[in-house]
Structure 1
């Protein structure tokens, strides 16, 4: 009798355990398949079939109200050797993917499974060994607002249809091997989102499209590329721009004729062929570098100008005044 009672208690405990599990069976199956596709890395050793994926699985977070996986983080593993897991498309409630510092995660971005994730808001694939071209993410991914593909080995041209993603606010493609010019469509992002466009440290080239005059962005970083010609369309007094970084290119335009936004805090135009005088309002900027250009005239006084040293101004054609030598 005691033995039967003991066995019944064990059975009831298993039933209670299964009923209290938060992890949805479909999500657990998908995660276990992802682990298999990633070649069972040590970092995922907590992903065990008989445990609750929403409670103790490393890098997995769930929506308690839905019992569905909403966030997936896999990062900092030099021993993980595989391609991007295709089964990630079987997590329909996923809102955030964060794959970071996985140098042996290789291959292209599998757009077909990722495009199934209609609730996805954040896609981070950064500091990996992944390569190939950056795909055009389909407009059906209407909730995507943060796209971080920085510090990988992606090549080819910029995907032209990103502007169709209505909520996209952050584009981080810096430190790759991207080539070609900026598509004219990039001037047609949703202005209400104030998207930030970070494309530095690539091999992009050519002239900027005039349509970028429409782009109302918070931060734009085109530094360390091979762009040329006019970049004045990036400026504008009615824009909400806080930072413009265009250093180490071949830009050539009159800086004195641009209009700075009232929100501007940072301007780095160093190492170009920019000429002219300083624009009005430059003294309100908190960080400035115009070195290695062809500018002329007297350095303005007042505002924040006293905080900038020689390095912010030297190697120009004929700038003068503090902190450079006095004007003659």
Structure 2
């Protein structure tokens, strides 16, 4: 199941809003647009070197630019927003919806322009668009998933009317300018998915109106500043995939009543998980994965009744794991800690909406035939690797229609592989180091990754592109890529 990140979802909502406005443009009585607006927009078009989907095909000299694709006019028949978006599939811009080129400085001619939305276009390059500094009333900058590079201008703080700044998914490098703290009207600050280094400027604590703060997927370091007490409106905090050290700052506890997304995974954070996280009753997503958190998970986690996505994987956490009272978990990952759960928790088994379950190396000792989850329809990933699970997954997997990945290596599963229904959606299957018997079915040829090594399989292999490592260590498998079968 593919879902948009919180910040991408907000960007999409803004784009939808402005696209709707453009369709109801207040320029119905005018035949053409203002000469400055037309000149600036056509200069932008001339800077585009590739437009495979014809996104700018309606941008023609002498026509009403308020009716051009992606253009909004709200004030005196003047252009107020440019909104162009490519289509995303599995996190990648679809080739036919890209735009290649640079952002023309001639857009400074659009004196009423207060918003630019260039989302998921993939190939817009160059530096930060400095023409914006000539338009001091600018409010919204969303230039996401493109190829802008260089440093974020040190004078970014001059754009004091900005309400949203998102440069996610580009190649910006260097430090976060401290002058960002001058943008006190900001409600959204999203700089994730770049190459930013250094520490988070302490002065950012001045941005009291933020609802979203995202610095994820950069190379930021140092401790997470202990300055969150004043962020009374913050709903989304994304600091994943950086190099942060130290503990979770105490001031984050001030966000308990409103914060919905807290994502701190893939850093070098350590210490115990703070008990105050159990007070975050509005929390939808908590990601503390791939850190060095130790000790037990606080009992107060039982209060997280609204949480849908919980990832505590790849830490140093130990038993006991608290009994949760979640009404419906969507994704859960407790893998690779020091848990001995014994069984799959009841609050997981009973979830009617779960789609991703990852409990690798969690000390589970069940017979898989006896596990009867309330639903299997939505499952797309199941990882039960490195446990002591016996029995057969056939009943479970034959009930799934949209499964993408099933991982159960290093268990004691015993079943006939030829009896397993392999859904058309399945791309990844790892049942290595078990007690599986039978032949390898032809249907495995549709997979992208396969590992059935070190089982008791036999017979001639079907034609596939998998390497020998996918099949080694079985009793009597033969045929390419293994040695040929004996006649």
Shorter-chain TM-score: which interval?
0.7 to 0.9
User: How many angstroms apart in 1 are the aligned matches of 2:67 and 2:74?
Assistant: 11
Aligned to 1:188: 229
* Aligned residue among 284, 300, 316 for 1:273: 316
Aligned to 1:178: 220
- Is this contact kept in 2: 1:228–1:250, CA < 8 A? yes
Shift of 1:243: 1.0
* Aligned residue among 343, 360, 363 for 1:314: 360
2:132 alignment partner, SS class: helix
CA RMSD of aligned residues (A): 3.8
* Aligned residue among 249, 270, 277 for 2:291: 249
Aligned to 1:96: 140
* Aligned residue among 285, 290, 304 for 1:261: 304
Shift of 1:131: 0.7
User: How many angstroms apart in 2 are the aligned matches of 1:118 and 1:20?
Assistant: 35
User: How many angstroms apart in 1 are the aligned matches of 2:222 and 2:180?
Assistant: 21
User: How many angstroms apart in 2 are the aligned matches of 1:175 and 1:197?
Assistant: 13
User: How many angstroms apart in 1 are the aligned matches of 2:347 and 2:123?
Assistant: 52
Deviations 1:189-238 (A, max 9, x none): 433x2421111112222222222222232101111111111232561235
Shift of 1:177: 1.2
Greater Cα shift, 92-101 or 165-174: 92-101
Tell me the TM-score normalized by structure 1.
Answer: 0.75
2:133 alignment partner, SS class: helix
Give ranges in structure 2 of 5+ residues lacking alignment: 1-29, 79-111, 372-386, 390-487
1:188 alignment partner, SS class: helix
- Is this contact kept in 1: 2:176–2:198, CA < 8 A? yes
Matches within 5 A, 1:10-159: 40-42=47-49, 54-56=66-68, 60-64=71-75, 67=78, 68-75=112-119, 80-103=124-147, 105-112=148-155, 114-136=156-178, 138-159=180-201
Tell me the TM-score normalized by structure 2.
Answer: 0.52
Query: What is the number of equivalent residue pairs in this alignment?
Result: 300
Aligned to 2:252: 212
Shift of 1:251: 0.8
- When residues 64 and 282 of structure 1 are mapped into structure 2, their CA distance, relative to the original with a 3 A threshold, is same
- When residues 275 and 76 of structure 1 are mapped into structure 2, their CA distance, relative to the original with a 3 A threshold, is closer
Give ranges in structure 1 of 5+ residues lacking alignment: 1-18
